[in-house]
Amino acid sequence: MGITLKELAASLKLSPTTVSRALNGYPEVNAKTRKRVRDAAEHANYHPNTRARSLATGRTHAIGHVIPLSASHEIVNPVFADFIAGAGEAYSRADYEMVLSMVPDAQEEQAYRNMIARGAVDGLIVHGPKLNDPRIALLTQLGVPFVVHGRSSGVTAPYSWLDINNNRSFRRATEFLLQLGHRRIALVNGLENMDFAMRRRTGYLQALKDAGISADPVLMRQAEMTEVFGHRAATELMRLPDPPTAFLSSSMLVAYGLRRALVDQGVRMGRDVSVITHDDDLSYLPNGDGLPLFTATRSSVRDAGRKAAEMLLQLIDAPKQPPLTCLMETTLIVGESTGPAPQ
């Protein structure tokens, strides 16, 4: 396709060595020739062939993302688009490329093994960690730099991760509702084999316990986080003899569903029933226009992607350093969906 180094060198009447060094900023080349080379390269739109370069250097300048497709329904987690967008920023700044592979849970391990055995990537981002996730052990054993988006309860050996404080986040949200006088608070959660969902649940339970309220299993639901699930959960819960006065939701989409169900039941949100949702601050799911629609625990997943990528690049540059970790706090944003518990 493009012009090759050898050709460029020939056209300049220089050796490939010199041209390579000139372009890569090595000192042993005259400032004047360097400029000459750079100009010529620019003019010919020369870009070194990635494959050849990585073969020579042993570094691929590529990061792998393996996105799990939820086994049951093959649902793509909608947060991943924004996460990727954030990570992509960091990569393009550092001149890395991103290779993506979406695989059903079952083939995940093979996907990782392949990527690494084929020398396709310098590092990996692990998405959607579950409790006790086996991928972490696999990757540490294989000795590849990686960063987990989230954590995996049960894995004791240290590893690099970036996560939001799901526990504290949902504890605070629950406390907020308790302070408003709510006593029956429902938790409409993601699948609790996912680590984040488990932590949110724990935070919720802790807050209840601290307030001396015993948790009611009937008020806790978990499923794939869709609008339809939110609607179904709220519909069922509101039909209980002793329905909740407040809901805690794990995603904006679920919260949409809650709201619709509440409307269906003729209940007014923020007055009769309160809702707090987690808000990943997705670009295409803004929480309201000016004032936030929902009271929410917010944390930008796009920022998370950017940060995780930066951590990984750092890890790749200095392979022997201990694991990096980053715990981000969410901000509790008060919107129109919460109010004092009805008497």
Partner DNA sequence: CCGGATATCCAAAGCGTTTTGGAAAACTGA
Partner DNA sequence: TCAGTTTTCCAAAACGCTTTGGATATCCGG
Binding site for DNA (CB under 7 A): 2, 4-6, 13-18, 20-21, 23-24, 28-31, 33, 46, 48-49, 52-53, 55-58, 119
- Closer of 73 and 209 to a copy of itself (Cβ): 73
- Closer of 185 and 255 to a copy of itself (Cβ): 255
- Closer of 24 and 30 to a copy of itself (Cβ): 24
DSSP one-letter string for 80-100: HHHHHHHHHHHHHHHT-EEEE
Distance CA 124, CA 62 (A): 9
Q: Which of 77, 49, 71, 73 is nearest to 61 (CA)?
A: 49
- Closer of 30 and 50 to a copy of itself (Cβ): 50
CB of 65 to a copy of itself, least distance (A): 8
Tell me which residues touch a copy of itself (CB under 8 A). Answer: 1-2, 45-52, 54-55, 60, 62, 67, 69, 73-78, 80-82, 84-85, 88-89, 92, 97-103, 113-114, 116-120, 142-144, 224-228, 231-232, 253, 256, 259-260, 263, 282-286, 288-289
Residue 71 contact among DNA, a copy of itself, none, beta carbon within 5 to 8 Å by kind: none
Residue 226 contact among DNA, a copy of itself, none, beta carbon within 5 to 8 Å by kind: a copy of itself
Residue 248, H or E segment: strand 246-249
- Closer of 15 and 110 to DNA (Cβ): 15
CB of 43 to DNA, least distance (A): 15
**SS3 call for 184:** coil
Helix residue ranges, H only, the chain: 5-12, 16-23, 31-43, 50-57, 79-94, 108-117, 134-142, 166-179, 195-210, 227-238, 252-264, 301-317
- Closer of 21 and 201 to DNA (Cβ): 21
Residue 137 contact among DNA, a copy of itself, none, beta carbon within 5 to 8 Å by kind: none
Contact 146, 309 (CB under 8 A): no
Exposure string for 9-41, b = 16+ CB within 10 A, e = fewer? beebebeeebbbbbbeeeeebeeeebeebeebb
**SS3 call for 210:** helix
Q: How far is CA 25 from the centre of its chain?
A: 36
- Closer of 174 and 251 to a copy of itself (Cβ): 251
Which one-letter DSSP state was computed for residue 244?
-
